Amino acid sequence: MTANATFTLTILSSQHGIDLGNFQLNGAQLGLPEGVPIAVRQQCLVGGKQQGSRLLTLMVGDKEIRVVPTRGMAILDVQRDQVRFGWDSPVTEVVHPSFINQESAGGLGWLDGFNEMLVRCGYQWAGHPGEDRGEFLTLHGRIQNTPADEVILEVDLTPPYQVRLRGRVDEKRFKFTNFALHTCLSAAPDSPYLEVEDTLYNLASYDNTYQAIYHNNFGTPILQPGARLHITGKQIAPFNEYAGTGLETWMTMPAPTQDFDEMVFNIEALADEEGTAYALLENADQTQGIEVAYAVDTLPVLTLWKNVDTREQGYVVGIEPGTSYAYNRRHQWDLGLVPTIPAKTSKVFKVRFGLFTSSQEVTASRDNIVRVQGNQTLCVKTEPTVQL
Amino acid sequence: MTANATFTLTILSSQHGIDLGNFQLNGAQLGLPEGVPIAVRQQCLVGGKQQGSRLLTLMVGDKEIRVVPTRGMAILDVQRDQVRFGWDSPVTEVVHPSFINQESAGGLGWLDGFNEMLVRCGYQWAGHPGEDRGEFLTLHGRIQNTPADEVILEVDLTPPYQVRLRGRVDEKRFKFTNFALHTCLSAAPDSPYLEVEDTLYNLASYDNTYQAIYHNNFGTPILQPGARLHITGKQIAPFNEYAGTGLETWMTMPAPTQDFDEMVFNIEALADEEGTAYALLENADQTQGIEVAYAVDTLPVLTLWKNVDTREQGYVVGIEPGTSYAYNRRHQWDLGLVPTIPAKTSKVFKVRFGLFTSSQEVTASRDNIVRVQGNQTLCVKTEPTVQL
Amino acid sequence: MTANATFTLTILSSQHGIDLGNFQLNGAQLGLPEGVPIAVRQQCLVGGKQQGSRLLTLMVGDKEIRVVPTRGMAILDVQRDQVRFGWDSPVTEVVHPSFINQESAGGLGWLDGFNEMLVRCGYQWAGHPGEDRGEFLTLHGRIQNTPADEVILEVDLTPPYQVRLRGRVDEKRFKFTNFALHTCLSAAPDSPYLEVEDTLYNLASYDNTYQAIYHNNFGTPILQPGARLHITGKQIAPFNEYAGTGLETWMTMPAPTQDFDEMVFNIEALADEEGTAYALLENADQTQGIEVAYAVDTLPVLTLWKNVDTREQGYVVGIEPGTSYAYNRRHQWDLGLVPTIPAKTSKVFKVRFGLFTSSQEVTASRDNIVRVQGNQTLCVKTEPTVQL
């Protein structure tokens, strides 16, 4: 025990031919001291378009984190205490990628499986579908519909009993793309935070461009009439003319609204001294909230996706740090939002979720955002960033 | 037994994580009295593009009904006595939807799996591939290549020992489609009928358009030289110029004919006092036949698909009640054949197959068709319904 | 034993519902005399996009042959003695066809799974993606992403203990294609050869065109600076202008070369008295080599694919006998390279791999090529075969 203070379990490995399938392990089986509230469970889903998907549930203290290795290590949702972090998409299945045709419906096939709290967009490209430089790009890239090759669980057997779930997802196309994404989710029993640290490797001998958007989505109970967004930012601009009409009320959330559809706002992030920017969605009485903190060195912009339509349509707000906005890539070259990953190098993306279930936690987060923003004004641009 | 006169078995449920896989149950295991000839069997298919498909066989009296839950609850074929109802497609596998790319070949990828007796087309759209209102529609919609989420068997334990197979198939796309189709097949040991009653739910908070075609296909032995079609109808018109050249002989079936390809005829249905229209394909000596009866409130038109080419090419006739003809949707708005399903409502589609294996049954069906048609003339239009 | 001198094992059969999954059999279990070095093993691959793929390994004497039934009976690679025949693609998974969308990236989705030594291109079409006669053709056709329906192992229990692996792969589309490909790989313990004999059946009642390219790919250790190609040929021409700049050095192989990309050369094959043409890739010191011999009656042309870019990009040479060159089909009609397969007939394709691991074997092959070429000059055309 002294020699090896971490329990390590290979849940899936294409290289080693390991695939645990349905299993569950409690704290004792993980080698933890009695009373440490950590457990893990995996289910092989069945039926419909979720046949073949895996759902991995990490129980870490008061948090229950559901991860989908089959869909690029997405986070389906998180429950902390009685509060659910995630949303209710009309898509209720955990759709297996083999049922997704991203080229369908003019490149919108990605929407057939869209229902998670954390959806990665990227990494060869992200954003809206369409032609760019002779290439047809489908909505939000391929990573979310790519199953992980490797899933490894690590549980520290000493306080603070950190739990890490590592994944590897390959995004490859001969002659075009040779990316490997290493994901790491981590959480500890006594912390309200869930951290995501992803490393994108360009294994090729050529530089390549890339894009990433961390499409984090939150619905009820936090999203409700009177819920508010707080951010640290340098500038906000509407995505298009329609969003321009909602610019004055971008912070406040209405009830589910027929015909609202979506308003999207583009934000230039403002970071604290450690390079971290923040966004907080708090409920109406400020007793629950979701904070998204992100490292701006690789994720310099934030997309707010205010999709406060009816519940059946998906009542949801996206808080989405990215290399880029949600436009098709062809619009982002001039914005300087199509970065390059040099040959044989890597890029790290850090996103931390604060899963707040008390007014103290929410207030502390809001106070910090006010502190970071300081006396820097959030510049409001009324013109859309791009004239579509 | 008195309290619960129906045996119910969940064969597949994505919600409850149930997937029975390979199994079989005989009458005793179903709780039926001795001698009641009902049994059920499911096979998980293997090999080629059918890997992962499920084939569910219901033995109900003299009928053996093979259903494919994985392909939208399609009916592969039915055998009654020694007569097979179905056809011989060059596609011999029960193709799993993950191997189908409906976008391929200009939207014709659906053809890669086409071989069943009952193939549902719909429900967001049906008909030929092509652009409509800025959307590219693939052949005959998505439902047939969507696996069921739920399959439930019900067997009444008292006469007439009705057997019902219920399925649920979701057709969803975030922001676009939020449909759930509930299917029900039913049959009883002593009846020549197989009934299909489908309910399409629009779960969205918005009205949507929809289309449905029940693409029912029949080959040998009923289809043979001298086989004849009888219908109840107000009007018949050729689908295109080529079909116009075969308008005079639309009722009669030739031998498999090299270079015939297909002729398609559009029929406005004529219903009886209960709202049911009829079509009968009888063999040459009128000893076997397949009757398709359908409720015209939701299925007002009938497509006859006379594909009497060579056996290797698929010698088959389609008797296809629908909301619409087989044209691309763009041609059907003006025909009034793109109905709307209001938000949070449902539509019911009823199709009944008469599986006739005696001249008495065939004659009774033909007589009924004559009765329903009465002295209403079937108006023959020589011009194609749409100028393509 | 006298009555039945061949061991036969059905490994996969869609028709009979047989799927052996993971298994292995040694010589004794195959019924072979002690000391005959033959064994077989199958693994069901897991993880990432290889979930569901099968990998079948034949150990035949000093050869270990890895076959992928799930990918059209491809040969992943062969090891003889310590020499590997195959290549290192950036695509490292044995990608299951359900994860391939051949329509993606303008018809280049095939590249997402490209990593085998023997990749079949065809049979409805082969070559580069693009429109031809109103049809959009994806790169290299569909067969490689089609799982086999039937896999049968035959082991002769008497010398020379020939091992045959038979497969059947269906390529079908209602109204368009009704092909069945029967593949046969064979090898014997004491022979350096691996033979491929494929039979393509056109089951339709109509003639059809077809194309085939046997995309055989070889990297290190044989491919190295100073490795050389020898061929029997009537004529060589560059595929395009870029290849024209490398025409003088087409035979010699450089080290992995940044920005080389690929040069492609088109060769009209020259056959010996038995109708066999030859190509040999030998390493720099002529101690190892791969010979590709092919029957020119059905494979009249040879494509040399010199993709000597960096290792990470895929340092590889393709030696590819075909009905056709690698152009899109629209360019090949005028070249007479779109053959017809009459209704209900078959075509046989023969390719033999010489897996040479000694200078004697290499020298004998080279000498034979010199003999077959005789005093017939290889005509060098400086203009590309097709002006693209």
CB within 8 Å: B18 and A46 = yes
Question: Is residue B13 within 8 angstroms of chain A, CB to CB?
Answer: yes
pLDDT at C310 over 80: yes
C1 confidence band (pLDDT: 50, 70, 90): very low
CB within 8 Å: C178 and B92 = no
pLDDT tens track for C144-160: 999 999 999 999 999 99
Indicate the DSSP class of residue C104.
H
Kindly list the distances between the CA atom of residue B234 and the CA atoms of A147, B80, B183, B241, in Å, as whole numbers in the listed order.
54, 32, 29, 21
Kindly list the distances between the CA atom of residue A29 and the CA atoms of A21, A24, A32, A36, in Å, as whole numbers in the listed order.
17, 9, 7, 12
pLDDT tens track for A112-131: 999 999 999 999 999 999 99
C-alpha torsion sign, points B42, B46, B52, B55:
negative
Residues of A with CB below 8 A from B19's CB? 46-47, 51
Q: Angle CA(B15)–CA(B16)–CA(B20) in degrees, nearest 5?
A: 115
Candidate from C49, C92, C313 with C-beta closest to A204: C313
Nearest CA among C190, C153, C176 for reference residue C13:
C153
pLDDT tens track for C96-136: 999 999 999 999 999 999 999 999 999 999 999 999 999 99
Candidate from A12, A14, A98 with C-beta closest to C93: A14
- Residue C4's pLDDT is 66
Residues of A with CB below 8 A from C106's CB? 135-136
- The shortest C-alpha distance from A259 to chain C (Å) reads 33
pLDDT tens track for B111-138: 999 999 999 999 999 999 999 999 999 9
Question: Is residue A87 within 8 angstroms of chain B, CB to CB?
Answer: no
CB within 8 Å: A149 and C48 = yes
- Residue A4's pLDDT is 66
Three-state SS annotation for chain B: CCCCCEEEEEEEECCCCEECCCEEECHHHHCCCCCCCEEEEEEECCCHHHCCCEEEEEEECCEEEEEEHHHCCEEEEEEECCEEECCCCCCCCCCCHHHCCCCHHHHCHHHHHCCCCEEEEEECCCCCCEEECCEEECCCECHHHCCCCEEEEEEECCCCCCEEEEEEEEEEECCCEEEEEEEEEEECCCCCEEEEEEEEEECCCCCEECEEEEEEEECCCCCCCCCEEEECEEEEEECCHHHHCCHHHCCECCCCCCCCCCEEEEEEECCCCCCEEEEEEECCCCCCEEEEEEECCCCCEEEEEEEECCCCCCEEEEEEEECCCCCCHHHCCCCCCCCEECCCCEEEEEEEEEEECCHHHHHHHHHHHHHHHCCCCCEECCCCCCCC
Give which of C100, C311, C312 to mutate to test A binding, by max A Cβ within 10 Å.
C312
Q: What is the dihedral of CA C1, C6, C7, C9, to 10 degrees?
A: -150
Q: Which residues pair with B148 in a beta bridge?
A: none
CB within 8 Å: A13 and C47 = yes
Could you report the predicted ipTM of this complex, rounded to two decimals? Answer: 0.96
Candidate from A19, A149, A173 with C-beta closest to C112: A173
The pLDDT of B342-370, averaged and rounded, is 98
Q: Which residues pair with A135 in a beta bridge?
A: A132
Candidate from C106, C112, C114 with C-beta closest to A136: C106
Cβ density class B103-128: b for 16+ within 10 Å, e for less: bbbebbbbbbbbbbbbbbbbbbbbbb
SS3 at position A335: coil
**Closest-CA residue in chain B for A45?**
B17
Domain ranges for chain A, please list them: 6-380
CB within 8 Å: A15 and C47 = yes
The span from the CA of A237 to the CA of A306, in Å, is: 13
Answer yes or no: are the C-beta atoms of C4 and C138 closer than 8 Å: no
CB within 8 Å: A111 and B138 = no
Average pLDDT, chain C: 97
- Residue B1's pLDDT is 45
Q: Which two tokens stand for residue B180?
A: 């759930």
Average pLDDT, chain B: 97
Nearest CA among A143, A149, A93, A97 for reference residue A120:
A143
CB within 8 Å: C101 and B106 = no
CB within 8 Å: C99 and A103 = no
- The shortest C-alpha distance from B97 to chain A (Å) reads 7
Question: Is residue B176 within 8 angstroms of chain A, CB to CB?
Answer: yes
pLDDT at C277 over 70: yes
Low-confidence ranges of chain A (pLDDT < 70): 1-4
The pLDDT of C228-233, averaged and rounded, is 98
The span from the CA of B224 to the CA of B264, in Å, is: 18
- The shortest C-alpha distance from B60 to chain A (Å) reads 25
The pLDDT of B198-218, averaged and rounded, is 98
Question: Is residue A22 within 8 angstroms of chain B, CB to CB?
Answer: no
The pLDDT of C332-338, averaged and rounded, is 98
Answer yes or no: are the C-beta atoms of B250 and B303 closer than 8 Å: no
What class is the C6-380 domain? Answer: mainly beta
The pLDDT of C240-269, averaged and rounded, is 98
CB within 8 Å: A150 and C114 = no
The span from the CA of A150 to the CA of A16, in Å, is: 9
Question: Is residue B46 within 8 angstroms of chain C, CB to CB?
Answer: yes
SS3 at position C340: strand
B4 confidence band (pLDDT: 50, 70, 90): low
CB within 8 Å: B136 and A105 = yes
